[in-house]
């Protein structure tokens, strides 16, 4: 149950207008035609009354992931949702790149994501390195690239607090 303070913060955030949200898909195999997460997120961003502020599809190469984040953070995006590259295989470098770039981390996001993910995938939830934090006045979320993981993160964690987070980081 939200607190009175939380309710005030949500109300203040809602009065600031639509939040510009950027999406980054990190994948060595997906193309813009086969990236099912981008259309889902575009639809949900619009349905939430927010605006899409950019989209990047990049291979899981540290320099390219870093460049995508730098580019989007230099634009109007207040929130950046990165999907893919959070596993433990040698090619999964997104977490490592973001860990070095994030200025303040939001450990609760990864903790809650893994807790909720447990209900869907069981013990395999521990393989996720989902994370979140701030970078240059933006909130950055990093989720696994599976459509179920993106849906879970968006519906249960990101969307409910989106405007509040964008407001908090800009205060």
pTM of the complete model: 0.92
Q: Which helix (H) or strand (E) holds 77?
A: none
For Cα atoms 9, 45, 55, give the angle at the middle one, nearest 5 degrees.
120
* CA 81/CA 171 separation, integer angstroms: 21
Mean pLDDT of 20-44: 97
pLDDT value at position 171? 86
- How far is residue 65 CA from its own chain's centroid? 14
Q: What are the φ and ψ backbone dihedral angles of 53, each rounded to 5 degrees?
A: -110, 5
How confident is residue 6, by pLDDT bands cut at 50, 70 and 90? low
pLDDT value at position 152? 98
Q: What pLDDT, in 10s, does the model give residues 114-149? A: 999 999 999 999 999 999 999 999 999 999 999 999
């Amino acid at each position: 149950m939200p607190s009175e303070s939380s309710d005030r913060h949500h109300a203040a955030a809602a009065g600031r207008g639509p939040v510009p949200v950027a999406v980054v898909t990190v994948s060595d195999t997906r193309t813009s035609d086969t990236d099912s997460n981008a259309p889902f997120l575009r639809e949900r961003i619009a349905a939430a009354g927010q605006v899409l502020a950019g989209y990047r599809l990049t291979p899981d190469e540290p320099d390219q992931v870093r460049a995508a984040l730098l580019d989007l953070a230099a634009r109007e995006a207040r929130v950046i949702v990165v999907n893919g590259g959070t596993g433990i295989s040698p090619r999964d470098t997104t977490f490592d790149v973001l860990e070095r770039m994030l200025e303040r981390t939001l450990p609760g996001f990864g903790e809650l994501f893994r807790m909720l993910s447990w209900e869907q995938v069981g013990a395999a939830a521990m393989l996720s390195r989902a994370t979140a934090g701030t970078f240059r006045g933006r909130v950055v979320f990093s989720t696994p690239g599976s459509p179920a993981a993106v849906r879970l993160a968006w519906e249960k964690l990101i969307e409910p607090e989106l405007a509040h987070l964008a407001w908090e980081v800009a205060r």
